[in-house]
């Protein structure tokens, strides 16, 4: 089986260890190594190839045929990192050719199980699509506005305030490779100006919450942790992760059903979901869908070992014996 990810991906390492224990033949490849660190050839059109790409993939330590039973697609390095030595136009050309050539082969291996397929990841990576799908499946979502109109934001705040802002994708890496974060934050609409018109923004009605829940669905298995942060931070990711309190939490049956339907809607096998938990008097806790990550991190969670085995199960299902 093929694992497509960067060399530094420690999350993938957990799954690789489980697969090695099960004596699965595993090859790890980062497509951004194309060049001396990764060569390939693939052909089609021969009477003997049955309309499937045939060829080989070579790294300094591996030489494999493109007959792969499964692909675990994690977090490969961007192709742009490979071509920084080229002029701008040359970079753009080389990146596009690598994506459509090598990427086109790796994303279309006949008969392979993909967890998850990059096309499905891309489709499910858009927050507007996530919120719409969640709402259509009956999950509670915050009132949400996507706009570049500052007056519309102010009207939204007047009707549904207090409101928060969150980015769609975050800040891209800087020239030094370091990534800054934009945490979810409360917004005073009077502090906004016409610069809002420059690009798209996501605003939501703030959900009063007592805790957060991180739900990880792998195949038919559901793992969930209640997360409480010291001081009740609006965005638990912004504080000291060592001080977060994790507790197993039971996911209500209707939400389990909806999340499996959510994965099916996007053609996914796996997803990480964030919920805001709210409690009122003696009423059952309310679960409000915040977002779904089709390629989320999970190695930091207390039940990561069990998740690694669940990944191995879904990756090997149907082809490995």
Q: What is the DSSP string of 66-132?
A: S--SEEEE--PPPGGGTTTTS-HHHHHHHHHHHHHHHHHHHTT-TT-EEET-HHHHHHHT-HHHHHH
With a cut of 70, say whether residue 91 has pLDDT above it.
Answer: yes
User: What are the pLDDT digits (tens) for 178-194?
Assistant: 666 788 889 898 889 99
How confident is residue 83, by pLDDT bands cut at 50, 70 and 90? very high
Residue 312 forms part of a structural domain: no
Q: Note whether 199 and 185 are same-domain residues.
A: yes
Tell me the three state secondary structure of residue 223: strand
- Whether residues 16 and 88 share a domain: the answer is yes
pLDDT of residue 176: 57
Per-residue burial over 119-136, b = 16 or more CB atoms within 10 Å of its CB, e = otherwise: ebbeebbebeebbebbee
Inter-axis angle of helices 127-136 and 253-266, to 10 degrees? Answer: 130
Tokens describing residue 251: 């996911």
- Total number of domains constituting the chain: 3
Does the N-terminal peptide bond of residue 116 adopt cis geometry, omega within 30 degrees of 0?
yes
Q: Domain range holding 238?
A: 118-142+207-294
Report residue 233's pLDDT band, with 50, 70 and 90 as the boundaries.
confident
pLDDT at 175: 59
35 and 160 share one domain: no
Q: Model pTM? A: 0.92
Is position 308 within any domain?
Answer: no
Element (H, E) at 214: strand 211-218
């Amino acid at each position: 089986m093929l694992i497509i990810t960067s060399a530094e991906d420690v999350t993938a390492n957990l799954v690789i260890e489980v697969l090695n224990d099960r004596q699965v033949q595993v090859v790890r490849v980062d497509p951004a190594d194309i060049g001396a660190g990764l060569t390939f050839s693939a052909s089609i059109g021969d009477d003997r190839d049955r309309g499937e790409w045939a060829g080989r993939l070579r790294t300094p330590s591996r030489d494999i045929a493109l007959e792969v039973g499964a692909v675990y697609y994690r977090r490969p390095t961007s192709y742009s990192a490979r071509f920084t030595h080229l002029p701008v136009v040359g970079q753009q050309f080389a990146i596009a050719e690598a994506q459509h050539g090598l990427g086109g082969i790796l994303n279309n291996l006949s008969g392979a199980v993909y967890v998850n397929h990059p096309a499905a990841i891309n489709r499910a990576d858009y927050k507007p699509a996530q919120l719409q799908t969640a709402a259509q499946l009956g999950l509670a979502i915050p009132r949400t506005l996507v706009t570049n109109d500052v007056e519309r934001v102010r009207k939204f705040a007047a009707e549904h305030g207090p409101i928060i802002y969150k980015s769609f994708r975050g800040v891209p890496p800087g020239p030094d490779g370091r990534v800054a974060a934009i945490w979810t934050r409360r917004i005073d609409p009077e502090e906004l100006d016409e610069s809002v018109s420059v690009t798209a923004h996501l605003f939501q009605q703030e959900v009063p919450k007592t805790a957060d829940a991180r739900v990880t669905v792998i195949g038919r298995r559901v793992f969930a942790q209640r997360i409480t942060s010291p001081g009740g931070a609006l965005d638990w990711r912004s504080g000291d992760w060592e001080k977060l309190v994790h507790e197993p939490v039971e996911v209500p049956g209707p939400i389990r059903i909806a999340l499996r339907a959510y994965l099916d809607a996007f053609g996914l096998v796996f997803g990480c979901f964030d919920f805001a938990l709210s409690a009122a008097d003696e009423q059952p806790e309310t679960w409000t869908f915040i977002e779904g990550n089709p390629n989320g991190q999970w190695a930091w969670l207390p039940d990561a070992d069990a998740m690694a085995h669940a990944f191995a199960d879904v990756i090997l299902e149907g082809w490995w014996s």
